Chain A
């Protein structure tokens, strides 16, 4: 009897000692893991890449003009829609909706513009190759701003002449409304389209030049919207300085465990890599089609559109020579891997940007992680995901890590609202 007690006591003691030792052991990262953490760290964010296609990209006057345009609802069919209607600064330039609401309803979810200046491809399917060309999409989309380029040219003439001319030089005379109708553009609306086709090529180019310059000014503004450090970034900064205490106050044990999964077994870093947590390429993750919408073929159509885009980097409206357009010149334009592929969104501030995916298919992060843990067959093409086999506890850790990626913008407050005249 006594012996049994001894054995029992001894076992408990040793087990307790082992438990204590493992628990008190500081988390350690291998050299390879530290390299991965550093690559995700906001401190690794390089300076903004130049945009050779936009000669005004870093012009402060152009940015101020662009900011005014970004918030001005007059640039729409009904006087109620501006870029900021869907990209709300106080919602981290998102709108919180599964599908965006402009003049009509879009078939995709609004993306943030934070950090978009780093991406060679814009939109979920990358059908635009610069911020300025991107901005010209929603303005003539029948479900977003719903207006036309001659309407906008007249508005610039009447409301923004001085600001426009200070950056882009003299505005041509648009007063002859038989040459420049109030509503004309290459849009879906048959009347506006007919009016556009009736204009001379030279007049169309005059209107298009003004339109392009609006895009370039808006792009200059968007380039100033930058992400700021999150608790994850504080953790990495502390790790690089070997400051254990600061590491512990930056992230909890669960968050660190989630981070370890993110860069390790769950392999999220395959696609969500670099300091913006996206490689800005295109991947099929088999997200189911949204209710009531057909399956979206994503990049497969997007790449054809960008190659044919009137405003792409190689177009007459671009300021780049051929050498400035490497992404477009060497783009992969065929192959089954493009079907149903989308651009991975940044995961910075992901906790604040529900719902998720290209058509808001998932409303919580828990649903997103369920999808990654048990990936279904893709509605189109082939999903690149493999089952992860994570436990419920691990999924919770991964989620808590994603929640540690929130942080304030690194952008002055006066850029986050309509400019005061």
Chain B
């Protein structure tokens, strides 16, 4: 092997080591952007989440969809949702008993409010009042639905900006 080659290789190897050592030493001051997202405080939501707002309930009894007013759920503002419930075959479900809950799985807390279905709007539509989200990030909203003696649950995912 030529002497020059050895010089070049040694230089590169030492440089790499020095740079790595420097990064490790100065990581706390450099900030998280070099290791993103590993070092971000707020871990991103799992990428496999189903974010759609129309889904089949856990046991396949109901197809449920939600719409918020304003159309994307606002931060820190109490607002209303309308949910639509139909059977898997597409028949609107009347007279359902619906309870609402939810929270942030990554933070281990629930909703800041106690939202409730306050009105059966007919045609399978229900008014949900008292919705509120007080942090940006991944939220779950869960509806427990009982109609004609049949009970099923659906959990929606959404990301608040």
A residues with a Cβ closer than 8 A to B are 3, 6-7, 10-11, 14-15, 18, 30, 35-36, 39, 120, 257, 260-261, 264-267, 269-271, 273-274, 279-282, 326-327, 329-333, 335, 337, 384, 388, 390-391, 393-394
Number of B interface residues, CB 8 Å?
42
Q: Which of the residues A3, A15, A261 comes within 8 Å of B31, measured between beta carbons?
A: A261
Residues of B within 8 A of A261 (CB): 31
The smallest beta-carbon distance between B48 and chain A, in angstroms, is 18
Given known A-B contacts A273-B136, A330-B116, A10 and B11 have beta carbons under 8 A apart:
yes
- Are B129 and A281 within 8 A (Cβ)? no
Measured CB to CB, the nearest residue on chain A to B41 is A267
The smallest beta-carbon distance between A150 and chain B, in angstroms, is 36
Residues of B within 8 A of A266 (CB): 41
Residues of A within 8 A of B11 (CB): 6-7, 10-11, 14
Assembly CA distance A200 to B6 (angstroms): 103
Assembly CA distance A394 to B27 (angstroms): 11
Assembly CA distance A281 to B10 (angstroms): 59
Residues of B within 8 A of A327 (CB): 78, 113
Given known A-B contacts A18-B19, A391-B29, A273 and B135 have beta carbons under 8 A apart:
yes
Let me know if B147 is at the binding interface, CB within 8 A: no
Task: Mark interface residues in B102-130 (1 if CB within 8 Å of A CB, else 0).
Answer: 00000101111111100000000000011
Assembly CA distance A35 to B75 (angstroms): 13
Residue contacts A-B, CB under 8 angstroms, 22 given? A6-B7, A7-B14, A11-B18, A15-B22, A30-B36, A260-B32, A261-B31, A265-B31, A265-B32, A270-B42, A273-B134, A279-B75, A279-B76, A279-B135, A280-B76, A327-B113, A329-B129, A330-B78, A330-B113, A388-B41, A390-B28, A394-B29
B residues with a Cβ closer than 8 A to A are 3, 6-8, 10-12, 14-15, 18-19, 22, 28-29, 31-33, 36, 39-42, 75-76, 78, 107, 109-116, 129-130, 132, 134-137, 161
Residues of B within 8 A of A273 (CB): 75-76, 134-136
- Are B41 and A330 within 8 A (Cβ)? no
Residues of B within 8 A of A394 (CB): 28-29, 31
Q: Which of the residues A11, A330, A393 comes within 8 Å of B28, measured between beta carbons?
A: A393
Residues of A within 8 A of B39 (CB): 265
Measured CB to CB, the nearest residue on chain A to B39 is A265
The smallest beta-carbon distance between A120 and chain B, in angstroms, is 7
Residues of A within 8 A of B110 (CB): 335, 337
Q: Which of the residues A11, A36, A329, A388 comes within 8 Å of B14, measured between beta carbons?
A: A11
